[in-house]
Amino acid sequence: MIDYNRDKDLDKFSLNTLEDRYFWKEETHAQEAFARASIYGATYKGTTDFALAQRLYDYVSKFWFMFSTPILSNGGTTRGLPISCFLNYVGDSIDELTDHFKENARLASSGGGIGGHWGDIRSDGTSTSSGSKSTGSIPFMKVVDSEMLAFNQGTTRRGSYAAYTDISHPEVEEFMVMRKESGGDLNRKCLNLHHGVNVTNAFLKAVEQDENWRLIDPKSKKAVKVVPARDLWHKLLDIRAETGEPYIINIDNCNNALPQSQKDLGLEIKQSNLCSEITLPTNEERTAVCCLSSVNLECFDEWSQDNQFIADLVRMLDNILEHFIDNAIDVTNLGGYNSNYERFKKHIRKGKEGFTKAAYSAYRERSIGLGAMGFHSYLQSKNIPFEGIFATGFNHKAFSHIKTLAVEASQTLCEERGEAPDIVGTGRRNAHLLAIAPNASSSIICRGTSPSIEPIRANVYTHKTLSGSYKVKNKNLDKLIQKKVSSKTKQNKLWQEISDNRGSIQNIKVFTDEEKEVYKTANEINQVWVIEHAYKRQDFICQSQSVNLFFVLPESSLAQEGHDEYLQYVSDVHWYGANKLKSLYYFRSDAAKAAENVNIKVPRIKLDEVECIACEG
């Protein structure tokens, strides 16, 4: 049963976002889109569980969770796939490279963001089988760079791709700066790709001990160059500060957390995805797949009392993953549940050949990514500062709750539907259960809750979209202001003062010191706390988290000592994150005197700091 009155709970920004990007054909109400996606998520192998569909609809229309963009946009339609992201392997031969380009075209045009690992490609100047010299990996990345411009990510944005390489690859220094317009050969620039660097614990130890680091050709296994490890680390931080990237992936931390059953199969994580929250194994036979949606932590006090809620979401994501597999392959003729790749690919459906590796990976591990949003909004609703032990306590409470119930749900599904072939003997349906995506669009739809697990960037700002500009206020702060100031005129004047202070209340006298602590913006929060919360919750996250870091550039007039302190702070935060976490996403920086509009950033190269549209939701 659809309750159209629930449309009234959406604000104008939320409604316009839904209308612009999510409605299908004759849909005119948000509730219709929610109901369509709920029915889709409640359908398994062609049979719909309408009781589950009703519960999913009630959850989403009360903003307890939100479907990812591909599910809400494409679920129950012929528009595209329900899958958010793909991670694919790049082999060193011409045939493997050509296959990679072909697979990218299919994945990008169907709506998925892509992450590819290039660390196995022989380096520039090494010999090929024909006796010629290799041009290295970057010219082939340039092909992908052009490819992403040619193929749309669904109907709303061009294809998006993140290239990854290893800190030991001989081309890593050039790779780091390939998104900079200035310097170097323009033909070896990839301005339309995102990129990330895989660091290892051995590299971090070399940095700590000020040792040299060998850059090793992946084909010959010989050292091509030796560089000071600290120089490489500083170069990585410098380019992140300048362009926001590369992402930093601690590939050892990722692989150490891989389920033992997958390690026993010889599987290995080689990269992350476009938004750095997916950490699944890839190889010549596997293109990793993840199906996402996010709970709204702002409503934690409500849904945590309903033990069926998390179980229903896990079931929903497993249903949707099964739909993706069934659309790609005729499983009825597969001849055994635990099938190998050679047998599997013989049963791929006509026209779905481009999804063979993705369907096989989904079939083998059935990994899903249940994420979260609203972390900071919940804290503020309870007058809890982001920096402190009370936030740490809620962090543990929320994510231990989600993980415990998600595991129980996967065990129940295993009893009903069987184990994923990769994890036979574990008693679970899904190899991975949790991953925290950026989910910016979902947070907008959920009445402006804080995105993902990150702090709020400003208490008031202007958000520009295709449908217009919206002045967005922190709703918890708005409630506080209404209590403190009775006159509407004075309230508006106070909001203007906050706006003039770049969304900050730190210099506004009407607020107490305690309130100023609660409503600190992302730039005002010590980023060590961002890392600390991420580190503490990582125990409950099967995959990873999109962890953004926020910094304010020092004023140019500041004494050298102040600049040195800033650089040391940036380095310390990154060092802590690179050692303790699986991944670091964007380096977000604002000038000391920025504009009111948080969409205006420090000048950077033309590729915007935008999440993959699939992971946004």
Which single residue is written with the structure tokens 């929610």?
A: 34
Distance of alpha carbon 65 from alpha carbon 206, whole angstroms:
43
Residue 538 DSSP symbol = G
Q: Distances in Å between the alpha carbon of 107 and those of 81, 104, 114, 197, 519?
A: 9, 5, 8, 23, 41
**Pick from 560, 585, 519, 556: which is nearest to 272 by CA?**
585
**Pick from 452, 460, 455, 463: which is nearest to 478 by CA?**
460
Do the Cβ atoms of 47 and 248 come closer than 8 Å? no
Which residues are known catalytic residues?
273, 275, 277
**If DSSP codes are grouped into helix, strand and coil, which group holds residue 213?**
strand
Distance of alpha carbon 88 from alpha carbon 273, whole angstroms:
9
CA-derived radius of gyration, the chain: 24
Distance of alpha carbon 297 from alpha carbon 453, whole angstroms:
9
Residue 140 DSSP symbol = H
Tokens of 464: 């520009």
Q: At 514, phi and psi to the nearest 5?
A: -65, -40
Distance of alpha carbon 314 from alpha carbon 416, whole angstroms:
13
**Pick from 480, 522, 60: which is nearest to 299 by CA?**
60
Tokens of 303: 């849904």
Which single residue is written with the structure tokens 């992403």?
A: 148
CA angle 290, 295, 296 (to 5 degrees): 145
Which single residue is written with the structure tokens 């889109």?
A: 33
Distance of alpha carbon 362 from alpha carbon 543, whole angstroms:
15
The amino acid that residue 28 corresponds to is T
DSSP letter string over 459-496? SEEEEEETTEEEEEE-HHHHHHHHHH---HHHHHHHHH
Which single residue is written with the structure tokens 């030991």?
A: 168
Q: How far is CA 79 from the centre of its chain?
A: 23
Which single residue is written with the structure tokens 């550039």?
A: 553
Strands (E), 190-296: 194-199, 212-216, 223-228, 247-250, 288-296
Burial class (CB in 10 A: 0-12, 13-18, 19+), 29: middle
Q: Which 3-state string (H, E, C) describes 142-184? A: HHHHHHHHHCEECCCEECCEEEEEECCCCCHHHHHCCCCCCCC
Task: Tell me the pairing of strands 161-166 and 157-158.
Answer: unpaired
Task: Tell me the pairing of strands 65-67 and 288-296.
Answer: antiparallel
Distance of alpha carbon 10 from alpha carbon 30, whole angstroms:
9
